[in-house]
Amino acid sequence: MKERFQEVYEQIRMPEECSSRIEQAMQCKRADRKKYVTGYRWKHGFAAALAAAMILVAADATVYAYTGSGFISRVMSWANNAIFTEEVDEEGNLVGTAALDTSDMTAPAVYQNGHLWFTANGENIDITSQVSEVRAYIYDYTDGEGITHYLIVGGAPETFGYAEFLYDATKDPGWIGGYFTSGKVGETINPDWLENAKDELGIPWP
Amino acid sequence: MHDVMELFHLYKDDVYRLAVSYTHSVHDAEDVCQTVFLKLMEQSGITPGKEKAWLMQVTANQCRSLLRSVWRKRTEPLDEEAEEILSEQPVLQGIWESIRKLKPKYRIVVYLFYYEGYTVKEIADILHISGTAVTTRLSRARQVLEAELREEVY
């Protein structure tokens, strides 16, 4: 029986077309490491079990970060057009984010003529002197659903990175999600400016 | 440690086989494979020599998520003919069709045990289930396959 099964399985090989497509996707991803996003997932009632998933994305890619089965309960739009979708499982528990769509992602800041301009949410502020490798500019606003968005921009102005974290005061834990995008090739996912900002705000994720 | 592209060429057939065995859909298997190898690129902490085990585990998780997903439940997967996957050998196609009739949770243990040669404990680790569950699933799969294949294999 074992031999026959092995004969059957041995015939199953990845089609050349599929192999080429995946190889191409991997090469594209390798070539575009300058931008990456960290999506933070959460599980209702298990603050200590928070998990972080680093997702490398091409600049124009759509990334879906599946975290399990469930029903979509809410779609949250972020300041830079990224979208997180929450799920609840069949027992009604919030289980995490279903999708992180970065296809329309835009940075909340722009570097022009030696100046770094914070441009998100209708604001246009020169933050050049307020950011460095260890210091971030933090902007917050509360949306129509009562969720506070913290936009964090840091690093050297010409290679700045940014992050956004959401806080819902009606939930426990209140921090409900976040992402980080780097502007530097090969940068750690925990640059000092981001770590310092997270400490200042009390953001719990590593 | 191997370069990620080397790992892809080394293990692409293993990952694909596992995904086809679990999902029984070449289209789903291709999607799963792409996701798995892109995830591999994000990993830096895999113990050298454990890359295949990591790939098997992530592939199994990905297949499980796919089969449980709301989208998948709401859409009817296309039935793929055995000929699309196997060569024109009626006996082998018959075996494949019999395996195909098993529930996914049985198919996967059959594949890992009979083809990959993993032990019960190793399968339990890959699938995050107990050794007893692996043994039970193997036993039930054997019963079903025995009935299906009695004339061809036994």
B41 contacts A29? CB cut-off 8 A: yes
CB A50 within 8 A of CB A205: yes
Report yes or no on A68 lying in a domain: yes
Report yes or no on A173 lying in a domain: yes
Task: Tell me which CATH code domain B81-154 carries.
Answer: 1.10.10.10
* Spatial separation of the C-alpha atoms in residues B99 and B84, rounded to whole Å: 15
Find the range with the poorest average confidence among B7-11, B22-26, B106-110.
B22-26
Residue A88 — pLDDT band, cuts 50, 70, 90?
A: low
Bridge partners, residue A181, by sequence: A37, A162
Interface test with B, best of A3, A13, A14 (most B CBs within 10 A): A14
Per-residue pLDDT averaged across A10-31, rounded?
82
B86 contacts A8? CB cut-off 8 A: yes
Give the pLDDT score at A173.
Answer: 67
Rank A173-177, A197-201, B67-71 by mean pLDDT and report only the highest: A197-201
Nearest CB partner across the interface for B92, out of A1, A2, A8: A8
Find the range with the poorest average confidence among A37-46, A157-166, B106-115.
A37-46
CB A187 within 8 A of CB A34: no
Size (chain B), residues: 154
Q: Which residue has the higher pLDDT, B4 or A64?
A: B4
**Structural domain boundaries in chain B:** 1-80, 81-154
Residue B136 — pLDDT band, cuts 50, 70, 90?
A: very high
- Counting one residue from chain A and one from chain B, the pairs whose CB atoms sit within 8 A come to 95
Q: Which residue has the higher pLDDT, A106 or B54?
A: B54
Assess A15–B contact: CB distance below 8 Å, yes or no. yes
Taking only residues 63 to 82 of chain A, the set having a beta carbon closer than 8 angstroms to any beta carbon of chain B reads: 66, 68-72
Check whether B58 has a pLDDT greater than 60. Answer: yes
Nearest CB partner across the interface for B70, out of A8, A23, A71: A71
B20 contacts A12? CB cut-off 8 A: yes
**Burial degree of A25 (CB within 10 A; 0-12, 13-18, 19+):** middle
Give the pLDDT score at A195.
Answer: 86
Per-residue pLDDT averaged across B35-62, rounded?
85
| Residue-wise pLDDT tens digits, A98-148 | 445 555 556 788 888 889 998 866 668 899 999 998 999 999 888 777 778
* Spatial separation of the C-alpha atoms in residues B138 and B154, rounded to whole Å: 17
* Residue A140 structural domain: 34-201
Per-residue pLDDT averaged across B111-131, rounded?
90
Assess A49–B contact: CB distance below 8 Å, yes or no. no
Cα-to-chain-centroid distance, residue A135: 20
- Write down the residue that tokens 């192999």 correspond to: A19
Other Cβ atoms within 10 Å of A94 Cβ, number? 18
B1-80 carries CATH number 3.30.160: no
Mean pLDDT (chain B) is: 80
Find the range with the poorest average confidence among A30-44, A118-132, A146-160.
A30-44
Question: With DSSP H G I counted as helix, E B as strand and the rest as coil, what are the percentages for chain B, rounded to 5?
Answer: 75, 0, 25
Give the pLDDT score at B38.
Answer: 86
Check whether A97 has a pLDDT greater than 60. Answer: no
Nearest-CA distance A55 → chain B (Å): 7
| Complex ipTM over 0.90 | no
Check whether B126 has a pLDDT greater than 70. Answer: yes
Assess A4–B contact: CB distance below 8 Å, yes or no. yes
How many structural domains comprise chain A? 1
| Chain A residues close to B25, C-beta within 8 Å | none
Check whether B100 has a pLDDT greater than 60. Answer: yes
CB A138 within 8 A of CB A201: yes
Nearest CB partner across the interface for A9, out of B4, B37, B111: B111
Q: Which residue of A has its CA nearest to B97?
A: A8
Q: Which residue of A has its CA nearest to B29?
A: A14
Check whether A174 has a pLDDT greater than 50. Answer: yes
DSSP B44: -
Q: Which residue of B has its CA nearest to A13?
A: B13
CB B77 within 8 A of CB B25: yes
| Chain A residues close to B13, C-beta within 8 Å | 12-14
